[in-house]
Structure 1
Amino acid sequence: MALPKKKTSRSRKGMRRAHDGLTAPNVVYCECGEPVLPHRACDVCGNYKGRQVVNSDDA
């Protein structure tokens, strides 16, 4: 089994793992005031970009 010749420093390990952090989801607010993920129709009122795309009885 292959082994590293040198110990990986804390700094180098941290630089390698710099992109592993989680990011919070971006949230926009619908006209009705509910938080919605971007580029998705609102679950409550069914609006997307100011127009009705899903019937409120379906949502």
Structure 2
Amino acid sequence: MAVPKRKTTPSRRGMRRSHDALKAINVQEDSHTGEYKLRHHIDLKSGMYRGKQILEPKGDY
């Protein structure tokens, strides 16, 4: 069984865990509908991306 030879210092432990932090989601308000959406993604409700109609808009079910 593998056993560490030396105790891991708090600094080294923190460096290893530096990528575990939660990152904020990058959302912005859509200029046409006013709803929040992810940047660089198609707005699924309207089907628009960068001012162009990409998908057919979803209807109300």
Q: Deviations over 1:33-56 (max 9, x none)?
A: 111112222122221101222222
Q: One-letter code of the match for 2:57?
A: S
Q: CA RMSD in A?
A: 1.9
- Structure 2 unmatched runs, 5+: none
Identical aligned pairs, as a percentage?
44
SS at match of 2:18: coil
Runs (4+) of structure 1 exceeding 3 A deviation are none
- Structure 1 unmatched runs, 5+: none
8 Å CA contact 1:34, 1:44 repeated in 2 = no
TM-score, normalization by structure 1: 0.75
SS at match of 1:19: helix
Higher helix share: 2
> 2: CA distance between counterparts of 1:54 and 1:43?
8
TM-score, normalization by structure 2: 0.73
